[in-house]
Amino acid sequence: MRPLPALGLSVLALMLGSLTVGAAHIDLRAVFSDSQAMLVLLESRLPRTVAVALTGAALSVAGVLIQALVRNRFVGPDTSGTAEGAALGLLTITILWPASPLWLRMIAASVAAMATTALFLAVIRRLPVREVMLVPIAGLVLSGVLGSIVTFIGWQTDLMQYVGTWLMSGEFSGVISGRYELLWVAAIAAALAWFSADRFAILGLGDQVATGLGLSTATVMRLGLAVVSVVTAMVVTTVGMIPFVGLVVPNLVARIMGDNLRASLPVVALVGAALVLACDLAGRLVIRPYEIPAGLVLGILGALLFLWLLHRRPAHG
């Protein structure tokens, strides 16, 4: 637990930095005497900062869970068809009921994400156990197929702008008060995983071992599936999918702390929040006052980190 205080301070420092960076300068020391600055802070900067932190933390925890469910370190919410499933659910409800309320869109995205993730799990169970690399390849193929279906339907229905926002955006410039609160649902879903962390750790040992220890593998699988689907659906609905967070962060933390999920999940959440906050800040500073989407920065940095992880031996154990 020793990394938690340092990580917590790092996240707080990044959040304070996020509050001060933008097209308009805000002096946090004088914000209470400036009504305009207070409005910008409460309606734009603070919601955006909270949304960035929640997104990073929730996606990182979802990455840990899906890796435990499939028992493979090379899988994440964005490489298992989950994000594409959420986009397909959103696209379907948008076509069938354009004026649907937000809660119904949330349910449609979550159910579709759960269905496509369950399909991924069913596919990989038919793969040879020793062929580890076939699992992420199967996820990439499924993601590509579902993404093509979503793109085709979006093109035919003139909804490509929505599809691009859900699957290829990953940016927070449009986040204001009233448009990010769904991410609290994702955060709560991710927090629930901590209470069942020991069960997910046992599930990662294999179905036979878990059953022998008295664990109901089907129940734990359904819980993990629900958490991953809800987190991914909320992120896709609110800011669009952020690449590599759920893939890279769990691997980075596992190399240092091992597979003790109860101890590592809070660290994973803080590292994920710090990573996305740092990338969002970098995107806002590189060509200030314009912005580069955080998803683009993470796509570059995440790819480099993933290559580093592939070629570096674990430091733990």
**Which residue's entry shows tokens 């060509």?**
287
**3-class SS of residue 290:** coil
pLDDT in tens, the chain (317 residues): 467 778 888 899 999 888 888 766 676 666 667 777 777 788 888 999 999 999 999 999 999 999 988 888 889 888 899 999 999 999 999 999 988 888 898 899 999 999 999 999 999 888 887 777 888 889 999 999 999 999 999 999 999 988 888 887 677 887 888 888 889 999 998 898 888 888 888 887 777 787 887 888 888 888 999 999 999 999 998 888 888 999 999 999 988 887 788 888 999 999 999 999 999 999 888 887 788 888 889 989 988 888 888 776 554 44
Q: pTM of the predicted model, to two decimals?
A: 0.89
The correct answer on CATH 1.10.3470.10 for the domain covering 52-311 is: yes
Closest of 234, 230, 245 to residue 280, by C-alpha:
245
The rounded distance, in Å, linking the Cα atoms of 122 and 100 is: 31
Tokens describing residue 144: 């590509």
